[in-house]
Chain A
Amino acid sequence: MVAEPFLSPTPSHLFGTDWFGRDLLARVMVGGRVSFAVAFLSVAGGGALGTLLGLLAGYFRGPFGAAILGVSDGVLAFPPVLLALVLAAVLGRGIPGVVLALGLFNLPYFLRLSHAATLTLREREFVLAATAAGVSTARLLFRHILPNLASPLLVQATVSLGAALLAEASLAYLGLGVQPPHPTWGRMLGEAQSWLGRSPYPALFPGLVLALTVLGLNVLGDLLRDLLDPRVRPLLFSPFGPRPRGERKGEGGGAP
């Protein structure tokens, strides 16, 4: 059952309907599934691999570490949208290319984070104690060093998830990712652009939901960072208190 096209928001169609008379609220809800899946997959994949490589580069240092950092800088130098386009030329326009591109885009941030933290952690007494107790390198890395990275990694993952959602929407707008007729926020916006003269709602609501989602994730990231940072925690609940060293760490979400 399809309603009249270009309906304004009404009680039976809260977001209105699009050019085919499809309910916009339903399409926005379904579209979010793909966007979230792609963002989660790329952050989880890129984050896990980046963290692992950062641990190794930080622990072993030397030419091995330098090589890993160099390659990561190379990836960071390459713009994510262009990366996605190059991969689209090879893998086609489907989801795998987009996940791979966004995963690669996320990887260096996690790598630098875990590399920097590992460099300082490896000099600490508990690492020395574990080594003296005869703990194997793998166990040392994953059971003794990695847990100490949990909170900055969690903060980075939250911020990265928002950035990945934004990037996924841009790529979908360009026609990369899940193909029609399946809806996704970015492509809904792209299609709505040609109907702007008739009704603003198909272009308004998917973007609004996307913006609110990203805003929510960014605020959550800020909050987590403050909660997990013992230096800032006492200041957190005095709403106007200055945040001396809070803001800079989570800035890694990527320059726009």
Chain B
Amino acid sequence: MLRFLLNRTVAMVAMILLVTMAVSLVLTALPGDAARLVLGPEAPPERYEAVRQALGLHEPWPLRFFRWLAGACRGDLGFSFRYPGHTVAEILRRGLAVTLPLAGLVAFFSFVLGVLLGTLSVSRLGGLLDLLLSMGNQVFLAIPEFWLGILLVGFLSLRLHLFPAGGFPGWGEGRAWLHLALPLCVLALPRVAYFARLSRAVLADVLFADFVRTAWAKGLAERAVLFRHTLRPALVPLVAGLGLTFSRLLAGALVVEQVFSLPGLGGYAVEAAFGRDVPLLLGMSALVTAAVVVASTAADLAYGFLDPRIRAS
């Protein structure tokens, strides 16, 4: 167990290092340099030199990356170019305050609902309900989520005035949930379909196993057979999907966040890319990669709880 954790931690650190190094290297290839971007084209040469010195741009790339890394280990990700006077860490914290709860809620609800629907499908395998659910999954997996968002804003917000059309007042306000309701639904729908499809496939595989036949032969109730004997061994790949979905959402909610003008990570990422904000892009890449790796490690750990055979090895 300890050995496993140690191995995973080393792999995790290596992965984060690899990705940030690649991103940093790619961003170094930017034509024009950061000092020019901060100051604008008309700045006097001595100020330009001063800013270059201050940003450390006169140093070669390996040294700069090492400095950034040393800072990052202490939680100092540097200052943003696009939002002068704000640290990258502060901006990321502000974005996460919206994106993290959103991603968590979407992942949780779509997992529960999707697995329930998948189980329902399998309980009527080959029947009309199964066929309808499978067709629904196909449809919702093909619908672009931002299109759904735009249509819902047009109908529910602008026509019927049931929901605010966008923006976010902050967590203190009672209306905060009203602002999150539509984005939550829009993000959850294709993910419910994903989990329903995945769980149907995994469960259909388990359903023909001998131990499930034994459970039926013992005369257990359908609910017990499905949830206790079929779902449990099928949970491992589903939890893997949950980890992946959650970590993908941190950056993947970006487009829907833009549709509803939510001040999450997504908006900052777009601004950073178009404003060529190197430190912010680098910090965001590090954060998101770390989240992906942590989520997949957490999923691996969960396998051990779900499947004793994995725990043993």
Interface residues of A (CB under 8 A from B): 70-71, 73-74, 77-79, 81-82, 85-90, 93, 162, 166, 169-170, 173-175, 186, 189, 192-193, 196-197, 200, 203-204, 207, 210-212, 214-215, 218-219, 239-248, 251, 255-256
> Chain B residue with minimal CB distance to A219?
B138
**Segment at the interface with A among B15-23, B46-54, B58-66, B224-232:** B15-23
Given contacts A85-B272, A189-B146, contact A218 B288 (CB under 8 A): no
Are B269 and A85 closer than 8 Å at their CB atoms?
yes
Q: From the candidates A82, A88, A245, A255, name the one contacting B288 in the complex (CB within 8 A).
A: A82
Among A77, A87, A196, A247: residue with most chain B CB under 10 A: A77
Measured CB to CB, the closest approach of chain B to A230, in angstroms, equals: 18
The CA of A38 and the CA of B155, in the complex, are separated in Å by 31
At the interface, is chain B mostly helix, strand, loop or mixed?
A: helix
List which B225-260 residues lie within 8 A (CB) of chain A: 241, 244-245, 248, 250-252, 254-255, 258-259
> Chain B residue with minimal CB distance to A192?
B150
- A contact residues around B285 at 8 Å (CB): 78, 82, 86
**Segment at the interface with A among B90-98, B175-183, B201-209, B303-311:** B201-209
Given contacts A189-B150, A251-B201, contact A207 B138 (CB under 8 A): no
The CA of A242 and the CA of B204, in the complex, are separated in Å by 8
Are A207 and B251 closer than 8 Å at their CB atoms?
no
Cβ-based interface call for B185 (8 A): no
Measured CB to CB, the closest approach of chain A to B216, in angstroms, equals: 16
The CA of A173 and the CA of B150, in the complex, are separated in Å by 11
Cβ-based interface call for B30 (8 A): yes
The CA of A12 and the CA of B23, in the complex, are separated in Å by 51
The CA of A64 and the CA of B292, in the complex, are separated in Å by 25
Interface residues of B (CB under 8 A from A): 15, 18-19, 22-23, 26-27, 29-30, 125-127, 131, 138-139, 141-147, 150-151, 153-155, 158, 190-191, 194, 197-198, 200-202, 204-205, 207-208, 241, 244-245, 248, 250-252, 254-255, 258-259, 269-270, 272-274, 276-278, 281, 284-285, 288-289, 292-293, 296
Given contacts A79-B248, A219-B138, contact A240 B126 (CB under 8 A): yes
- A contact residues around B29 at 8 Å (CB): 90
8 more CB-based (< 8 A) A-B contacts, given A79-B288, A242-B126, A256-B248: A70-B18, A79-B292, A82-B254, A85-B269, A170-B144, A170-B146, A214-B142, A215-B138
Are A207 and B288 closer than 8 Å at their CB atoms?
no
Are A256 and B147 closer than 8 Å at their CB atoms?
no
> Chain A residue with minimal CB distance to B125?
A242
Are A196 and B153 closer than 8 Å at their CB atoms?
yes
> Chain A residue with minimal CB distance to B243?
A255
Are A74 and B126 closer than 8 Å at their CB atoms?
no
Measured CB to CB, the closest approach of chain B to A25, in angstroms, equals: 17
The CA of A255 and the CA of B198, in the complex, are separated in Å by 10
Given contacts A74-B15, A89-B276, A203-B150, contact A173 B201 (CB under 8 A): no
Are A207 and B144 closer than 8 Å at their CB atoms?
yes
Given contacts A189-B150, A256-B245, contact A82 B269 (CB under 8 A): yes
Are A196 and B154 closer than 8 Å at their CB atoms?
yes
Are B273 and A85 closer than 8 Å at their CB atoms?
yes
Q: Jot down 29 A-B pairs with beta carbons below 8 A, ordered by A.
A: A74-B18, A77-B293, A82-B254, A82-B288, A85-B269, A85-B272, A86-B285, A89-B27, A90-B26, A162-B142, A170-B144, A170-B255, A173-B146, A174-B255, A175-B274, A196-B150, A196-B158, A211-B139, A214-B144, A215-B139, A218-B142, A240-B126, A240-B131, A242-B207, A244-B204, A248-B205, A251-B198, A256-B190, A256-B194
Given contacts A86-B281, A256-B194, contact A210 B126 (CB under 8 A): no
Are B151 and A169 closer than 8 Å at their CB atoms?
no
Are B201 and A247 closer than 8 Å at their CB atoms?
yes
Q: From the candidates B126, B143, B153, B154, name the one contacting A211 in the complex (CB within 8 A).
A: B143
Are A193 and B259 closer than 8 Å at their CB atoms?
yes
The CA of A207 and the CA of B217, in the complex, are separated in Å by 50
Are B208 and A78 closer than 8 Å at their CB atoms?
no
Are A86 and B27 closer than 8 Å at their CB atoms?
yes
